[in-house]
Amino acid sequence: MNDELIAIGMLWLFVFVYAIAAAIDFGAGFWSWYYLRHRQTNATSIANRYLSPSWEVTNVFVVLIVVALVSFFPGATVTLGTVLLVPASLVLALLAIRSAFLVYSHAVDKYKRALVVTSGITGFLIPAILILVLPITYGGFIGEVDGAERLLWGELLTAWSTYAYIGFAVASTLFLSSLLLCDYAHVAEDWDAYRIYRRDAVIVGPVAFLFSVLIVVTMNWDASWLYDNLLMEKGWILASVVSFAIGYYALFLRHGRGGQYPGRPRLAMVAITVQYLLAAAGYGRAHLPFIVFPNVTIESGFTDEATFHALFWSYIIGFAILTPGFIWFWRMFMEDKQYVKQK
């Protein structure tokens, strides 16, 4: 495996981890808002309890992605930085607003309701804007204006692919977050919230799957080169479908004494995460060697060899240091029943 493939593989892994973690984080904000008026349930408090410590860890991967892109593929940064200026600025503004409320709501009680509303609205706006990076890399939505590359908003906003991706982003955000919160409520033994989030996962799961199919269909219209490559990676896609079937079926398996509780949320969460990983692997392989079609490839945008090796080992050492912290974080806030069950 050459250096370019190692670098793009590492960058794609960062993107995948952030996509899963951010989807759960943003979705938890949405569910917290959605169930705010349902006083008879603890669904909002369960979502807020997860959201409180998790958003800071999630934002770490935003920094990792940007630094890795600029460091490994400086040649691609010029194109992506230019065409993504407006959507990236919108995302940063929404993240700043959301983060401000997350910070100050803990210090001033009167902002707690505003936090729930803000995190709920941004919970589907941010994923919907972030996902636009993928259709933009198709290449057909970038043109030259006065000798500089510009995003063609008219073409982007009238393409079926755009709305297939947006629907997929929102549905996946709700699906992944409802699965995680279902598991979280299971650990907390809050069976009322558990039933609510399991029901949400059962409803939203097929919707997310449908939008993934629509992405492939519309891809044939807007990026036939990627569609043809994706057909060559159909093994990854079929494995992803099987993993989805396992995860969705796990929501109906019964557990507890006498099978009194429907669903095995931990198995469902793991299987669905594997599903997204397999689909991301197939999609990423089909996209190679292009970062932005047709001009920016992993070879043309790559940094020099010495810089790559220095950066690569820096990341390896950094993750060797951070991984125990991530494990400790998971055990403290996700598995410690004293924290999870707090009133």
CA atoms of 54 and 25, how far apart (whole Å):
7
Contact 294, 142 (CB under 8 A): no
Task: Check whether 166 has a pLDDT greater than 70.
Answer: yes
Give the tens place of pLDDT for each residue, 43-67: 777 777 666 666 667 777 888 888 8
Mean pLDDT of 12-20: 91
Query: What is the residue range of 304's domain?
Result: 3-340
pTM: 0.90
User: Based on the structure, what is the number of domains in the chain?
Assistant: 1
Give the tens place of pLDDT for each residue, 226-251: 999 999 999 999 999 999 999 999 99
Q: 291 by DSSP, 3-state: which?
A: strand
Question: Residue 190 has what DSSP assignment?
Answer: -
Task: Check whether 297 has a pLDDT greater than 60.
Answer: yes
Nearest to 340 by CA among 58, 112, 53, 46: 46
DSSP 48-97: HHHHHHHHHHHHHHHHHHHHHHHHH-HHHHHHHHHHTHHHHHHHHHHHHH
